Amino acid sequence: KSTTPITTSKKIVVGTEASFRPFEWRNEQGDIIGFDIELAKEIGAQIGADVEIQNIPFDGLIAALNNKNIDMVSSAMTITEKRKESVDFSKPYFEATQAIVLKKGSSFKSLSDLKGKNVGIQNGTTGQDVVETLMGNRDPHIKRFESVLDALNTLRIDGLDAVVADKPVVQNYLLSNPESQLVLLDDTSFVKEEYGFAFRKGDTELQTQVNEALDKLEKNGKIKELATKYLGE
């Protein structure tokens, strides 16, 4: 009699940058939670796979995928043409845009006012792209951070003039830190961004399974429920 199991249980290793509340962050117990995490687990349940979460710097997620350290990125990652050169994406599961964060009393009115000012961004993000398009990618006024939290905390202590980052994350920060003396500035030049899960190029099996699961979770109201739970939408 063979003792080799006939089926091995499936596992999806999911990479995320866990300081991006409400999409992914660590609770007081140290567990990584959030909209993206719960959605990834719901998808795992649909597919019949266990989901293991790994915390990885945002600008290292695509490399981690291509090195096969992870199977999927679930990290509020915007679907962009540039990224599509190195990874495949699921269908979009969330819409967002950029926002500018300023100190209260600041006189800047739009993105273009930030040219030549000290602007904080998170490495490897679409916020970085927006600011580099405005200022050139070598302008030393662009201050680069591993996480949006580090950038916002630096803005609070007067180390920066502004931060450009994803609006839902900024809104969440302002709500949870009412003492921050920071304000949000919308700019109509920011385009709509869509978040998607990323896969290794050619991993169409997982991509298809995830897209089918997303369809189901859309139809049964789960995605809506998670948006209400984590974003109040």
Binding site for ligand GLN (CB under 6 A): 17, 20, 58, 75-78, 122, 125-126, 166, 193
* Least distance in angstroms from the C-beta of 166 to ligand GLN: 5
**In this complex, which beta carbon is closest to ligand GLN, that of residue 17 or of residue 161?**
17
Q: Is the dihedral of CA 151, 157, 163, 168 positive or negative?
A: positive
**In this complex, which beta carbon is closest to ligand GLN, that of residue 52 or of residue 60?**
60
* Least distance in angstroms from the C-beta of 105 to ligand GLN: 27
* Least distance in angstroms from the C-beta of 4 to ligand GLN: 41
175/62 Cα distance (integer angstroms): 31
**In this complex, which beta carbon is closest to ligand GLN, that of residue 49 or of residue 76?**
76
At 129, list the tokens: 């792209």
DSSP structure class, residue 8: P
Q: Is the dihedral of CA 157, 162, 165, 171 positive or negative?
A: positive
Residue 216, helix vs strand vs coil: helix
**In this complex, which beta carbon is closest to ligand GLN, that of residue 71 or of residue 166?**
166
* Least distance in angstroms from the C-beta of 126 to ligand GLN: 4
